[in-house]
Amino acid sequence: MGRVVAVASIVLALFSSVCLARDTTHFFPIEEAMTSSDAKAKLNAGITFHFASSPSGAKVITSAVANRKTNAFGKSDEKACKWVFLSAMIALQDRAVKEGADAVTNIVSYYKKNERSSETEYECHAGAIMAGVALKGDIVKLKK
């Protein structure tokens, strides 16, 4: 019986360490992610994106939040973050198309509803098995 308790204690200790999730905050370059071959293949050239700014004359239709997660197991944090950033960008793009808009402006990182505005970096949180990016932006009509 003592051996069963010892084994159970070891298994519980190992399981507990796995459950303590890593949550590393990264700030990666937007330009690098937006000019990747994946981004060029998946983002619609008819929708423009503006980070932390909005061109004059933009008619705001609505605001949108894209909160995406991806499997990070066996991937570098950078690779997982680029992938999930692109997923969030596609979600904003899809919302713009749905609303009849031609741009997403004022895009900011919005992880756990904490807004971080940058024209050059996005925020990503990576763990042992998941990575996440949340973005918020205005869905707008620029062209008349």
Q: What is the pLDDT of residue 4?
A: 54
Sign of CA dihedral 96, 111, 133, 56: positive
The pLDDT of residue 21 is: 75
Condensed to tens digits (0 to 9), the pLDDT of residues 98-113 reads 999 999 999 999 999 9
Q: Calculate the CA 108 to chain-centre distance.
A: 10
pTM: 0.85
57's tokens: 């004359």
103 CB-contact burial (10 Å; exposed 0-12 / middle 13-18 / buried 19+): buried
Query: Which pLDDT belongs to residue 143?
Result: 80
* pLDDT tens-digit readout, 61-84: 999 999 999 999 999 999 999 999
Spans in the chain with pLDDT lower than 50:
8, 11-19
